Amino acid sequence: MVVDVDICGLRVGDEHPVRLMGVINLSRESFYKGSVVDADSVLDVAYKMVDDGAAIIDLGARSTWPLANPITKQEECNRLLPALKILNDNVDAVISVDTMFADIAERSLEKGADVVNDVAGFATDGGMLDVVADHGCPAVVMAAGKLPGDPIGMDAIMRSLNDILVRSEKRGIDTDQLILDPAIGKWVPEKLPIYDLETIDQFDRLKVFEKPLLAAISRKSFIGDLLNKPATERLYGSLAAAAIVVQKGAHIIRTHDVAETSDVVRIAGAIRSRQPVVEESGFEVSILDISNTDDAALAMRNIGVTGTGSTIMKDKTVSRVLRISNITTTEALIIKQEILARGGDAALERDAVSHETEKTDVIVMGTLLQVRKLADKLECQARNLPLISKMIKEALKQESDIEFSYLR
């Protein structure tokens, strides 16, 4: 299924250009002081962002930086609503308000805001679900549990976003109007930079939700940790990360630096390949790009497969190709026989088949279930096959080991 959504007149999705969301920050408490806009400059800044390529303006009056000094809801309103009044009907862009509170969101929508951007994913204020449902407005929802951005690791992010979608659907919200944000950034102390690296690297997993995807990467802390640079010097790091998430499927990039980001996302968007989809006579055939078995289970549950059924079948949906090097011809032939018995296959050099060579490499092909069963079988065999079994299991384990993947 191709993502193609109308967000207040703005088409967002796989067949459209990547959209830029320009940040207008009214919060003096922000981690990036260079992004703070004076009330008198709001309109000029918005005009400049639109001229530079922003299709969405995200107006925020409360810093969501965990170390920021808190402000009252009244102070948030005092900053937000006058700026919203200035922008309303004066800027050719979709206007989003960045708030976690239902009453502020409602007042903003009544004053002309188009979209609610809730970094708490409807968790901080349960009334936000009602506001979005009652107004029928689009909303950005960030992965969150008890606190904004508290899911640790991509698996937890996927579960959090799925929970938000389930709760939203039960409340009667059109979930196609929800824009998913995987919560990149150090939202809680436990969130180390490697978790953001994992989220960016695995951003394409979010495509299984078939919803518009937003990446808020601009000048985030993981860039500073990697480069040892303050927020004022993180532009190039932000652009590198933006290019990667666009290539992996992001539809919207939230940025402080619209002009600099515009060319980057245009090139990255052009490089991103289209998803194969064929539609005819009311039917559709699409190729799903799923590399994680839990995501496969989620896709199955989304079409009505039972939880038990999706759990049983998920290991059959993802395939792996392994190369095993420098083993004896006899060991290679045993491996081929065993993987064939489990529905997979193996390739080895021609001379190995006729025992004309002593050593060979073998390429093993199969689903994760088939490969794991192969490893279990080899564990009980002779020669070096128990060692090969151990090595196969270790290679599969490394795939999900975040420290192995991202610590250098």
- Phi/psi at 149 (nearest 5 deg)? 70, 15
* Cβ(246)–Cβ(272) below 8 Å: yes
Distance CA 357, CA 138 (A): 64
Q: Read off the tokens for 351.
A: 């001379």
CATH number, span 4-273: 3.20.20.20
Pairing of strands 214-216, 252-255: parallel
- Please, what is the angle between helix 193-201 and helix 154-170, to 10°? 70
Q: Read off the tokens for 404.
A: 């192995």
Considering the entire predicted model, what is its pTM?
A: 0.93
CATH architecture of the region 318-404: 2-Layer Sandwich (3.30)
* Cβ(362)–Cβ(335) below 8 Å: yes
Q: How many Å separate Cα 15 from the centre of its chain?
A: 18
Burial 14-31 (b: 16+ CB within 10 A, else e): bebebbbbbbbbbbebbb
pLDDT tens, the chain, 408 aa long: 789 999 999 999 999 999 999 999 988 777 776 778 888 889 999 999 999 999 999 999 888 777 777 889 999 999 999 999 999 989 999 999 999 999 999 999 999 999 999 999 999 898 999 999 999 999 999 999 999 999 999 999 999 999 999 999 999 999 999 999 999 999 999 999 999 999 999 999 999 999 999 999 999 999 999 999 999 999 999 999 999 999 999 999 999 999 999 999 999 999 999 889 999 999 999 998 899 999 999 999 989 999 999 999 999 999 999 999 999 999 999 999 999 999 999 999 888 777 778 889 999 999 999 999 999 999 988 889 999 999 999 999 999 899 999 988
- Please, what is the angle between helix 258-271 and helix 235-247, to 10°? 30
pLDDT at 33: 67
Degrees (nearest 5) of the Cα angle 64, 122, 120? 20
Nearby residues of 56 by Cβ (< 8 Å), 6 or more positions away: 7, 10, 19, 20, 21, 22, 93, 94, 95, 96, 115, 252
pLDDT at 382: 87
pLDDT at 102: 96
Long-range pairs of 367-370 with CB within 8 A, sequence gap ≥ 24: 367/315, 367/316, 367/317, 367/318, 367/319, 367/320, 367/343, 368/293, 368/315, 368/316, 368/318, 368/319, 368/320, 368/396, 369/315, 369/316, 370/339, 370/342, 370/343, 370/344
**Residue spans per domain, the chain:** 4-273, 287-314, 318-404
Distance CA 340, CA 191 (A): 43
